[in-house]
Structure 1
Amino acid sequence: MCINVTTDNSDNRIMRNENEKNILISAADDIRYLLKRGYPKPGALRFVCNHYRLDSEYRNILNRVTVSPDIAQDRMKKRTECCQLTGKKIAVDGYNLLITVDSMLTGHTLWKCDDGFIRDARGAFRGYSITPATYKAVKCVLSLLSKNSPAYVKILLDTQMSRSGELAGYMREQFNHTILNFEVKTSRRVDHDLKKCSEDMIIATSDGVIIDAAAKVVDLAGCISKDIQINPEKIPSKIQICSSKNNDQYE
């Protein structure tokens, strides 16, 4: 069973403060304007953030949320809905998914990004530690997959992360209580392994680099957020970038 720990988005001070929110919206629009005209994202992000004198928290949010329109449209075309997973094969970017679900369970802000994917902005990957919320996140993932009945699930966990072997063992134990056909593995090259998956595999990740290399993708974290009624924040825009039905980011 997936359990929501808290809905107190304690790190969401920016969207609660009208002045800070307006600064974030203006900066995001400026970055989108530059991306639409072909400017490289690192330079556009640096230029705009320096112009507005934004701190690292703003920069990280804007880096996660803003996506060039061409890339956003390509990613949306690859998306598979969770309700379409029945009988399909899935490869899961383990820590990418678990950290995002951990964030939603522990009250950190989630963001609906320009490509339609749900992401957090904690920047927690390198320093991530397994906590009780991690195990609750596993149960959320298990609940979602059990409900949608994929034919096969392969979960990859980064070996270099602390206690990955222990987490893999816990996940195998939990999945053994289901009828799912699954495999949980640790790997030194998760990104590489996911990019090399066969085209009949649907990749579950919000990592943009992996999404761009995949044939088909699914946003499991987005589906879980809907199931437990956690609404991600959006940075609205007056710029009309794309009209895909999957992207309601632009207003």
Structure 2
Amino acid sequence: MPKVVRRGYQKEDTYEFQDEEKTKLEKAAYELYFLLNQGYPIKQATTFIGNHYMFSERQRLALVRTISSYEDCISRFTKQITTFHDVKTVHIDGFNTIITLEVALSGSPIFKSLDGTIRDLAGLRGNYRIIDKTDKAIHLIYQWLRSKEIKEAIFYLDSPVSNSGRLANVVKEIAETYELQVQTYVIPDVDRTLEKQANVVTSDAIILNKCVSWLNMNSEIIEQINEVWEVSLCSKVVKQEGIFKA
């Protein structure tokens, strides 16, 4: 049997994202949202707030991946595709999408972001290995595409990342059991390629800001996964603004 791997989990997470720490993070998330709307860069604003609350690097990363400015959120909402009958082909940010599903399947913390996407804290850093959750994550993608009657999926994988070629092969092998046209591209700069596309599947903030349109696929898939550890730090922002969903 393959080794069971809990993608995106650290033992400190149980303390850092629950109870009193979560309450502090919710307050900090609102403060970060305020500073971003005043034009402060997210790195400096997160450092300022993180130092004040004495957050760990992982807690600070959760804030960065959860909170965006009002302007960025509205821009992303405007480009989001929510009806799929005209969508025939999707362009999938491979590592970004698959890893988040692996994290969700692992029962590790995932974060409902202010722009509606689901993000995780799993760091890639140029290294990736296929785990016991990988096949299931890919099956979930294909099942979702089939349910929306989307006929073609193009996966983009970063060539500098280890095992990108192996993952591309797994993606294609599993596709053979579905009535889908699937292509995989292992390329040096996935972000720049996706920034020019429509019907993009990703939670990468920079790509979302620049692409023509996008689909929030992972959010819908994860709603159907049992025993997910989903953390929302946006409750104060949602309550104050009234335009976002927690």
Which amino acid is 1:13 matched to?
Y
List alignment gaps of at least 5 residues for structure 2.
Answer: none
Matches within 5 A, 1:62-211: 62-81=63-82, 84=84, 87-124=87-124, 126-197=126-197, 201-211=198-208
Aligned to 1:14: 16
Q: 1:87 to 1:43 in 2, by over 3 A?
A: closer
Matches within 5 A, 1:3-82: 11-16=13-18, 18-81=19-82
Which amino acid is 1:219 matched to?
N
Matched, 1:248 2:228: no
**More displaced stretch, 60-69 vs 36-45:** 36-45
1:124: Cα distance to partner?
3.6
- TM value normalised by structure 2: 0.87
1:222: Cα distance to partner?
0.7
Alpha-carbon displacement from aligned partner over 1:92-120 (angstroms, at most 9, x marks no partner): 00000000000001111111111111111
Matches of 1:87 and 1:248 in 2, distance apart?
A: 25
Which among 218, 222, 232 is matched to residue 219 of structure 2? 222
1:202: Cα distance to partner?
0.2
List alignment gaps of at least 5 residues for structure 1.
Answer: none
1:87: Cα distance to partner?
4.1
Matches of 2:199 and 2:125 in 1, distance apart?
A: 23
Runs (4+) of structure 1 exceeding 2 A deviation are: 9-16, 85-88, 122-128, 229-232, 236-244
**More displaced stretch, 60-69 vs 24-33:** 24-33
Q: What SS does the aligned partner of 2:199 have?
A: strand
**More displaced stretch, 62-71 vs 120-129:** 120-129
1:151: Cα distance to partner?
3.3
* Count of aligned pairs between the two proteins: 236
Q: Are the counterparts in 1 of residues 93 and 202 from structure 2 also a CA contact under 8 Å? A: yes
Aligned to 2:232: 234
Q: CA RMSD in A?
A: 2.2
Matches of 2:193 and 2:45 in 1, distance apart?
A: 31
